[in-house]
């Protein structure tokens, strides 16, 4: 690249290239300005949500509320609107995460520790499963649930959601387990521990951060999922918050913007809080994406 330099290099004195501290001032300021601009674009829609939730006469316009009031929150904090749906959300998400994590730990152990002819095709199948658009199978799943008489059943929904998140969970769990050295288990085996005992007493404690990542990943997906319960759960008493917000929007959305915003915020806060905790706890904000990167 240096050969491209003009024939008379001495003519124009070049700016000295400093490797240790690259030109910070100009390019750094431009970078900051660009980031702030993009940040504002991303913030504007969020700002509406927060401001409208404290505004009793909110519209779709973003504005500072005339008076800060918690009326919207008190209006939606009723058992039918908030507490039962949130409880359902919690049951579904925790149930899904628990089943997924247990099933994928059990499956990942032989896949990670033993060699079998079954492993390779299974892992390819799992990898293939991580890519499948779940939205596409909802119509056949609905028919299946009708056949099995599982429609409008929370356990059925949990089982389906667990199955849908299993491919990714098995893939992640196996990757985490592969990085736990086998030598410790060998010691346990020689001491007469069974494989399951070794898994429980040695492997699981060693891969606790990995298990946390997988369970939170699954929990997030289940908590935010709208389409699956929208299709599979019919009675309002069983529906999670995502659906009750949607029905609220259909019934009162056009009049009670503030309440809709407050309701959405209440529903979103648990995952935001969990995310903040996780990104503090498990090295850096991109632990989740890093794990997905594989």
Residues 192-211 that bind another protein (CB under 8 A): 192-196, 198
Residue (106 or 206) nearer to another protein, CB: 106
Smallest gap, in angstroms, from Cβ of residue 166 to another protein? 6
Selected from 75, 98, 103, 184, the binder of another protein by CB under 8 A is 103
Q: Does 277 bind another protein (CB under 8 A)?
A: no
Q: Kindly identify the residues of this chain, within the stretch 231-260, that bind another protein according to CB under 8 A.
A: 231, 242, 245-246, 249, 257, 260
Residue (120 or 208) nearer to another protein, CB: 120
The closest of 292, 12, 18 to 165, measured between CA atoms, is: 292
Residue (61 or 237) nearer to another protein, CB: 61
| Binding-site size, another protein (CB under 8 A) | 112
> Which sign, positive or negative, has the C-alpha torsion 128, 129, 133, 138?
positive
How far lies 162's CA from each of 78, 103, 192, in Å? 30, 9, 34
Residue (167 or 210) nearer to another protein, CB: 167
DSSP string, 94-120: HHHHHHHHHHHHHHHHHHHHS--TTHH
Smallest gap, in angstroms, from Cβ of residue 8 to another protein? 15
Q: How far is 237 from 220, CA to CA, in rounded Å?
A: 22
Of 78-86, 113-121, 201-209, 211-219, the window that binds another protein (rule: CB under 8 A) is 113-121
Selected from 10, 42, 66, 235, the binder of another protein by CB under 8 A is 42
Q: Kindly identify the residues of this chain, within the stretch 67-86, that bind another protein according to CB under 8 A.
A: none
The closest of 76, 75, 79, 72 to 236, measured between CA atoms, is: 79
Given a contact cutoff of 8 angstroms between Cβ atoms, the answer to whether 138 and 231 are in contact is yes
SS3 285: coil
Q: How far is 78 from 70, CA to CA, in rounded Å?
A: 14
Selected from 94, 152, 209, 224, the binder of another protein by CB under 8 A is 224
Q: Does 1 bind another protein (CB under 8 A)?
A: yes
Question: Which helix (H) or strand (E) is 126 found in, with range?
Answer: helix 119-131
Selected from 21, 25, 67, 115, the binder of another protein by CB under 8 A is 115
Q: Kindly identify the residues of this chain, within the stretch 145-164, that bind another protein according to CB under 8 A.
A: 159-160, 162-164
Q: How far is 241 from 224, CA to CA, in rounded Å?
A: 9
């Amino acid at each position: 690249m240096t050969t491209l330099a003009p024939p008379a290099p001495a003519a124009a004195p070049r700016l000295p290239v400093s490797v240790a501290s690259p030109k910070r001032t100009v390019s750094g300021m431009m970078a900051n300005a660009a980031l702030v601009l993009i940040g504002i674009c991303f913030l504007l829609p969020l700002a509406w949500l927060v401001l409208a939730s404290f505004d009793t006469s909110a519209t779709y316009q973003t504005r500072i509320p005339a008076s800060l009031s918690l009326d919207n929150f008190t209006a939606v904090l009723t058992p039918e609107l908030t507490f039962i749906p949130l409880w359902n959300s919690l049951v579904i998400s925790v149930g899904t995460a628990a089943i997924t994590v247990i099933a994928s730990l059990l499956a990942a152990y032989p896949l990670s520790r033993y060699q079998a002819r079954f492993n390779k095709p299974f892992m390819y199948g799992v990898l293939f499963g991580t890519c499948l658009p779940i939205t596409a199978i909802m119509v056949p799943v609905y028919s299946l649930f009708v056949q099995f008489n599982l429609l409008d059943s929370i356990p059925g929904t949990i089982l389906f959601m667990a199955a849908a998140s299993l491919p990714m969970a098995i893939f992640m769990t196996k990757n985490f387990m592969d990085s736990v050295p086998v030598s410790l288990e060998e010691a346990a085996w020689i001491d007469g521990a069974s494989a399951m005992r070794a898994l429980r007493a040695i492997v699981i404690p060693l891969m606790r951060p990995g298990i946390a990542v997988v369970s939170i990943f699954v929990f997030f997906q289940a908590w935010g999922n709208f389409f699956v319960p929208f299709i599979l759960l019919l009675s309002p008493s069983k529906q999670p918050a995502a659906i009750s917000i949607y029905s609220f929007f259909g019934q009162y959305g056009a009049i009670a913007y503030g309440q809709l915003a407050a309701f959405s915020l209440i529903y979103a806060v648990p995952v935001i809080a969990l995310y903040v905790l996780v990104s503090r706890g498990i090295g850096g904000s991109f632990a989740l994406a890093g794990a997905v990167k594989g």
